[in-house]
Amino acid sequence: MATAVAVLSAPLPLRLSPPQRRRFLYTSRAEVTFRTSRGAVAGKVLDDSVIEPRDLRDYIEQSREMIRPDGGPPRWFSPIECGARGKDSPLLLYLPGIDGTGLGLIRHHQRLGKIFDIWCLHIPVMDRTTFAGLVELVERTIKSEESYIEKKPIYLVGESIGACVALAVAARNQNVDLILILANPATSFSKSQLHSFTTFLRVLPEPLHATISNSFRLITGPGMDASYVKENDLSLHQVFGGLSENLNKIFVGLSFLVDILPMESLIWKLDLLKSASLFVNSRLHVVKNQTLIIASGRDQLLPSHEEADRLRNLLPNSRIRHFQESGHAIFLESSIDLVSIVKGAGFYRRSRQVDYVSDYLLMTPDEFQKATEQYRWVDLAANPVMLSTLQNGKIVNGLSGISSEGPAVLVGNHMLMGLELGPLFTRFVTEKKIHLRGIAHPFLFNRDSEQLMPDSSSFDSYRLVGAVPVSAPNFYKLLSAKAFVLLYPGGAREALHRKGEEYKLFWPEKPEFVRMASRFGATIIPFGVIGEDDMCNVLLDYDDLLKIPFYQTLIKQINEDAVRLRTDSNEEVGNQNLYPPVLLPKIPGRVYFLFGKPIETRGMRLELSDRSNAQQLYLHVKSEVENCIAYLKEKREEDPYRHFLPRLLYQTTHGFEAEVPTFKL
């Protein structure tokens, strides 16, 4: 199957005066058409079910079409499956790895095309452009695009040597807003086994080059795996029995290139890697760009895992995402979704500064499942009960008391460690088709916070579901967009409370949200949630941990690096010290939610502009939250299925999909 790409026959993109600028497209070498690249295209998100799955075989097949000798220099192309560019889409330039085809993102073209204008760099197989020449080509492209990007960033996505090109361009163009996404960067070439392999190829007589190529082809059997080498076939061990195990691993790692690069081109590429690494490593100290490093844990060609940690220490605005089970060609693996990685890391923006409201991209079903996975056990083990209140004051099962019309502010109490967040978010999505946007602590968005976590992607799920850092501008933007905003006035102080403080509110005295809600006529929905005392006890709290030397040092580091909130407040809510509590799990009881009677602020803007009136409404909301908590604590004593065993017996009898009853309303 021939590849469907938009081809630019010149080294630089064909440029016509907007809006008549055209990009040539072709589906075969004989058929050529054109379309407008900056047309008015609606920014709707396509259903993922219509995306045609691609894999390594598609990459190999389409690469064979791309590598036909054409005598041309490196040039850009835009895959047809990426679609037409959206109005606000930033430009993404893909810089390929050692293969040079430009098809390394083939599995991601359709999803990336929804949010980016995609240009891929193709380096013909017999091209001998130097590393400096590739850097200059990308620089010229960026400069030619600056007048069209309208204060948008330009993304450079580079693999291996392409990552080196991206870093070099960033180092030489510090005044350009470039966002770097680097996959297994070749900056570690001097420390890799590839360095030894290059020396080996140089001393190997040229007649044996064909033998190596044949051995590669035996590896690239039906499944692209060495296990397909038959007993009677020539094996790498038979040909190169004296080689080290590391070199044999390199052969396996390079096997996917066998049908793409002839041996002389492979040797050239390896020399190019060496010069790229030397060039970039001497200039890393000047790179200040926002940088996302994607590192494979099983990269057979480069020590990518260790190199990612080194680069993070050298690049002050960088973050890492480790994928322990991935190999060198990470973007060709079925488990990797580049769009989700970019979204989860908080790296998608359409302007000079990130806008957590307008830049947010709705989740796909797969992203929703992954983002809520960490809280799924609460649904399974605690079988949450959700109750809501109608306008006439009647309490009913489910969320029928919640209007689907925004804007609205859900105001409630935090359980320990935010245990209620998963069930709350998923139930609103599944039952009401309402996407809650949470106001979250800035700690969840901080680069230094990620480095304190065992997994740097620990907070990605919060960004995927649409949480925003707490701030008045973000709250304003959400309400103006008629969103449903999830707000916890008690913040981290409630979520990380001490022993014996469960269900105690730590709200500030000032009515922080009331007047803002009234400005947009938002509905305020007070709610209470209980159940943490039936799931776990706090074994060691903040005061206990401060007495343990190791934890004392950890807590100090966490709170020194964290963004502090309400630092000017003498109230208890200002004492929002972050710490990892030590919990004693219990056989899980049940979690209960009650959403109180909605409080309308529509038409009350003038009235609530008076501080005393706003304060009175604020205290009323707080009182309603406390009433919801008290009601649930009393009524759960009547629930025959409060404890785990009765619920398990009920589900065994009625099916695990059956809704377990609760107390009478």
546 has a pLDDT exceeding 50: yes
137 token code pair: 């080509």
- What is the residue range of 302's domain? 5-38+55-190+289-344
Residue 565 forms part of a structural domain: no
**Cis before residue 365, ω within 30 degrees of 0?**
no
Residue 560 forms part of a structural domain: no
Least confident of 345-354, 406-415, 422-431, 454-463: 454-463
More confident call, 573 vs 334 = 334
pLDDT digits (tens, 9 = 90+) for 375-390: 888 888 899 999 999 9
Helical spans, DSSP H, in 70-129: 109-113
Q: Summarize the confidence of residues 474-498 as an average pLDDT.
A: 94
Nearest Cα to Cα of residue 653 among 663, 642, 641, 635: 641
Residues 339 and 374 in one domain: no
DSSP 315: -
Using CA of residue 265, residue 270, residue 275, residue 276, what is the dihedral sign?
A: positive
Residues 381 and 483 in one domain: yes
pLDDT digits (tens, 9 = 90+) for 281-320: 999 999 999 999 999 998 888 899 999 999 999 999 999 9
461 has a pLDDT exceeding 80: yes
Residue 72 forms part of a structural domain: yes
The pLDDT confidence band at residue 127, using thresholds 50, 70 and 90, is confident
Backbone angles phi, psi at 550, to 5 degrees: -65, -50
Q: Quick check: 160 and 185 in contact, CB under 8 A? A: yes
- What pLDDT does 228 receive? 33
Residue 127 belongs to domain with CATH number: 3.40.50.1820
Residues 93 and 128 in one domain: yes
Calculate what percentage of the chain has a pLDDT beyond 90.
56
Residues 86 and 132 in one domain: yes
How many residues are listed for the chain in this entry?
665
Nearest Cα to Cα of residue 390 among 557, 544, 218, 594: 594
Cα distance between residue 617 and residue 619, in whole Å: 5
Using CA of residue 297, residue 303, residue 309, residue 312, what is the dihedral sign?
A: negative
- What pLDDT does 309 receive? 94
The pLDDT confidence band at residue 98, using thresholds 50, 70 and 90, is confident
- What pLDDT does 24 receive? 30
Highest-pLDDT range among 15-24, 47-56, 532-541, 561-570: 532-541
- What pLDDT does 446 receive? 86
Residues 151 and 183 in one domain: yes
Residues 417 and 510 in one domain: yes
- What pLDDT does 211 receive? 47
Residues 443 and 508 in one domain: yes
Residue 448 belongs to domain with CATH number: 3.40.1130
26 has a pLDDT exceeding 60: no
Residue 561 forms part of a structural domain: no
Average model confidence (pLDDT) across the chain? 81
Residue 349 forms part of a structural domain: no
Residue 49 forms part of a structural domain: no
- Among 237, 268, 299, the domain-final residue is 268
Q: Quick check: 354 and 474 in contact, CB under 8 A? A: no
Residue 236 CB burial class (10 angstroms; 0-12, 13-18, ≥19) = buried
Backbone angles phi, psi at 528, to 5 degrees: -125, 150
Q: Summarize the confidence of residues 60-88 as an average pLDDT.
A: 78
Q: Quick check: 529 and 412 in contact, CB under 8 A? A: yes
Residues 183 and 201 in one domain: no
Q: Summarize the confidence of residues 30-58 as an average pLDDT.
A: 43
* DSSP 3-state of 110: helix
Q: Summarize the confidence of residues 397-418 as an average pLDDT.
A: 94
130 has a pLDDT exceeding 50: yes
Residues 381 and 514 in one domain: yes
- The structural domain count of the chain equals 3
pLDDT digits (tens, 9 = 90+) for 317-363: 999 999 999 988 899 888 999 999 999 999 999 999 999 999 999 99
Nearest Cα to Cα of residue 422 among 364, 375, 464: 375
The pLDDT confidence band at residue 453, using thresholds 50, 70 and 90, is confident
Least confident of 173-182, 199-208, 337-346, 586-595: 199-208
Residue 550 forms part of a structural domain: no
Cα distance between residue 158 and residue 162, in whole Å: 4
- What pLDDT does 50 receive? 55
104 has a pLDDT exceeding 60: yes
Residues 234 and 182 in one domain: no
Residue 262 forms part of a structural domain: yes
The pLDDT confidence band at residue 1, using thresholds 50, 70 and 90, is very low
502 has a pLDDT exceeding 90: yes
Residues 84 and 170 in one domain: yes
Beta carbons within 10 angstroms of residue 63's beta carbon: 23
- What pLDDT does 225 receive? 39
Using CA of residue 141, residue 142, residue 143, residue 144, what is the dihedral sign?
A: positive
Q: Summarize the confidence of residues 119-140 as an average pLDDT.
A: 93
Please give, one letter per residue, the 3-state secondary structure of 10-47. Answer: CCCCCCCCCCCCEEEEECCCCCEEEEECCCCCCCCCCC
Residues 198 and 184 in one domain: no
The pLDDT confidence band at residue 572, using thresholds 50, 70 and 90, is low
- What pLDDT does 229 receive? 35
- What pLDDT does 366 receive? 87
Cα distance between residue 399 and residue 37, in whole Å: 45
